Copies of this chain bind each other. A is one copy, B any other.
Amino acid sequence: MRIELVNTGDELLLGDTINTNAAWLGQQIAALGLMVSRHLVVSDGAVIKDAIAEAAGRSDVVLVSGGLGPTNDDLTRESLAELLGLPLELNEGIKTHLEAYFAKRNKVMVSSNLKQAMVPRGAVVLDNPFGTAPGLYFPAELSHSRGWDTHFFLMPGPPRELKPMMETLVEPKLRSLLPDGASRAIRYFKVTGLGESDIVERVEKKLEAVPGLILGYCIRQGDVDVRLSGQPGPVEAGTAIVNEHLSDHIISTDRRLMEEVVVQELAKRGQWLATAESCTGGFLANRITDVSGASRVYGHGFITYANEAKTKHVGVPSELLEQHGAVSEPVARAMAEGALKASGADHALSLTGIAGPTGGSEDKPVGTVFIGLASKDAETRVIKAFFPGMRDRFKLLASQTALDLLRRRLFGLRLG
């Protein structure tokens, strides 16, 4: 099945908005075992018509986002109706939704908004609970008049409206268009502590040997999503292989992030976490407090960028700093144990290292980091790691390794 994606919006072409929708939709399509074959961005206004016609001539499915709003420049609905020779008819259901939407917000509905209640004859309305612009689905029959056999889906541009519409209405419809789509299963495994090549080496050949199994990766800094799709039998066989060979590197199978897994597990146990960060400068604390409900497990954090702060707030003896330097195993240990004591928490993570770009030495090059974990009921553990490169990458990977150390302790796994 050939799928093309068309976006409209001057803000995309001017670079004022990064096109995250395209990547997100690409992943949704990939999860069905398909790949978008072309992705085209055009300006607001009349050019959308040519863009849709070009894509339709080559494709089984055209996904369009943007241009469903109330302004004169929003012409996606009208352009496709014109291409297919379909009259626009007022849809009373949408009109009622629009009126309610504006009333709830104490806003006046201007007449241009009624444009959004016009539906080309034969098109199926896709409800948009999060905005004013409904989506539209045009079954392939509607395109036969043009000599095409193409399904069209029109979706709004704002991600908070597009994503739920894609997940709840468009994806199931796409699935139903695939010969074996209705029964297709998808599994995700979020994996950390292994590079892409390690994952390939451990499982790729074995997974490729399962007939009918579709394998995909989404590689990010700090973790990799392994995606298995296909009929339930092959997906189950693949799941067994992944569980066996990636085992304790699997953070979650429900797409939860590392910080969510850790915070939620701490909450389940009623335990508290503290942090003492030097080189990551608050990045770890920020990840933890990004999780809703973090205040039930996280109370105290220290950013001890200066040596004096390490001594004063988390009790690192100054002799230790003088003897071993701030970036050292004993200092990471003292920071974690000091943060545990100063906070009364059950666990404390510490990081001390050289984020760069300056400050490295031959002995301790830029990228060197010591990560400590102290716990009330277990021995303190310190690991050394090395993440050279940019500062943002360093902060991300160092904090990921710290959270993984705690995850491993919480779940009783081997500590790194």
A interface residues, Cβ below 8 angstroms from B? 10, 12-20, 22-30, 35-43, 47, 51, 216-219, 275, 277, 280-286, 288-290, 292, 294-295, 298-306, 308-309, 312-313, 342-344, 355, 357-359, 391-392, 395
Which residues of chain B are within 8 angstroms of A299 by Cβ–Cβ distance? 305-306, 308-309
Contact of A286 with B282 at beta-carbon distance under 8 Å, contacts A300-B313, A301-B303 already known: yes
Tell me if A18 and B12 are in contact (CB < 8 A): no
Q: Supply 5 A–B pairs (Cβ within 8 Å), ascending by A.
A: A16-B27, A19-B23, A38-B51, A285-B286, A299-B309
Instruction: Looking at the assembled complex, report how far the CB atom of A50 sits from the nearest CB atom of chain B, in whole angstroms.
Output: 10
Which residues of chain B are within 8 angstroms of A285 by Cβ–Cβ distance? 281-282, 285-286, 303
Cβ-neighbour of A313 out of B298, B308, B313 (below 8 A):
B313
Tell me if B30 and A312 are in contact (CB < 8 A): no
Contact of A40 with B43 at beta-carbon distance under 8 Å, contacts A14-B216, A25-B15, A303-B285 already known: no
Leading 10 A-B pairs by shortest Cβ distance: A281-B289, A15-B26, A301-B303, A299-B306, A282-B285, A282-B282, A15-B27, A282-B286, A15-B23, A39-B41
Instruction: Looking at the assembled complex, report how far the CB atom of A59 sits from the nearest CB atom of chain B, in whole angstroms.
Output: 13
Return the chain B residue nearest A27 by Cβ: B15
Query: Quick one: copies of this chain in the complex?
Result: 2
Return the chain B residue nearest A18 by Cβ: B23
Contact of A218 with B15 at beta-carbon distance under 8 Å, contacts A289-B305, A302-B302, A304-B300 already known: yes
Return the chain B residue nearest A309 by Cβ: B300
A303-B392 Cα distance, complex, nearest whole Å: 20
A29-B312 Cα distance, complex, nearest whole Å: 52
Cβ-neighbour of A303 out of B14, B216, B302 (below 8 A):
B302
Which residues of chain B are within 8 angstroms of A303 by Cβ–Cβ distance? 275, 282, 285, 289, 300-303
Which residues of chain B are within 8 angstroms of A313 by Cβ–Cβ distance? 300, 302, 313, 342
Tell me if B39 and A26 are in contact (CB < 8 A): no
Instruction: Looking at the assembled complex, report how far the CB atom of A65 sits from the nearest CB atom of chain B, in whole angstroms.
Output: 14
Which of A14, A28, A51, A299: most chain B Cβ within 10 A?
A14
Cβ-neighbour of A39 out of B13, B217, B218, B277 (below 8 A):
B13
Cβ-neighbour of A301 out of B20, B294, B305 (below 8 A):
B305
Tell me if A306 and B312 are in contact (CB < 8 A): no
A359-B298 Cα distance, complex, nearest whole Å: 16
Instruction: Looking at the assembled complex, report how far the CB atom of A163 sits from the nearest CB atom of chain B, in whole angstroms.
Output: 13
Tell me if A22 and B35 are in contact (CB < 8 A): no
A26-B12 Cα distance, complex, nearest whole Å: 8
A292-B216 Cα distance, complex, nearest whole Å: 37
